């Protein structure tokens, strides 16, 4: 399972530097620990082998895809004049694994 977290930049910086927990497993930064717990509590989980459509639905909520229809091999999602179209092939394709840009 993959999990998406929305966490404060400063808290993530503390975690990346290894300044969250000491070598004897004691919390070094209570604020960052709390931010991490909130992020986990509000996380979005994705199934293994998620499709692009699974990712969109997980991020926007299941209601996003309700009322969707297929027209000319595109998945049309929205109401009235306000809609977005996705290629059905793209929607059902496996989502590309996330690759961190280290530049």
Please write the tens of the pLDDT for every residue from 50-88. 888 888 878 777 666 556 666 667 777 766 667 777 888
- pTM for the complete prediction? 0.60
| Structural domain containing residue 10 | 1-46
pLDDT at 65: 58
Question: In angstroms, rounded to a whole number, what is the distance separating the alpha carbons of residues 78 and 63?
Answer: 10
User: Average pLDDT for residues 89-101, to the nearest whole number?
Assistant: 76
pLDDT at 102: 64
41 within a domain of the structure (yes/no): yes
Structural domain tally of the chain? 2
Contact (CB, 8 A) for 63 and 46: no
18 within a domain of the structure (yes/no): yes
9 within a domain of the structure (yes/no): yes
Q: Which residues pair with 27 in a beta bridge?
A: 21
Identify whether residues 41 and 67 lie together within a single domain: no
Which are the contacts of 45, defined by CB distance < 8 A and separation ≥ 6?
A: 1, 2, 3, 4, 58
Please write the tens of the pLDDT for every residue from 27-60. 999 999 999 999 999 998 888 888 888 888 787 7
Question: In angstroms, rounded to a whole number, what is the distance separating the alpha carbons of residues 36 and 5?
Answer: 9
Identify whether residues 73 and 86 lie together within a single domain: yes
Please write the tens of the pLDDT for every residue from 4-17. 889 999 999 999 99
Identify whether residues 76 and 56 lie together within a single domain: yes
């Amino acid at each position: 399972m993959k999990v998406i977290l929305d966490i404060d930049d400063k808290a993530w910086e503390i975690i990346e530097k290894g300044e969250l927990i000491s070598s004897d497993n004691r919390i070094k930064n209570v604020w960052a620990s709390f931010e991490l717990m909130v992020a986990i509590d509000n996380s979005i989980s994705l199934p293994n082998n998620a499709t692009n459509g699974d990712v969109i639905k997980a991020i926007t909520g299941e209601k996003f895809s309700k009322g969707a229809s297929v027209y000319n091999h595109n998945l049309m999602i929205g109401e009235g004049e306000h809609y977005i179209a996705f290629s059905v092939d793209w929607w059902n394709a496996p989502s590309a694994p996330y690759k961190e840009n280290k530049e």
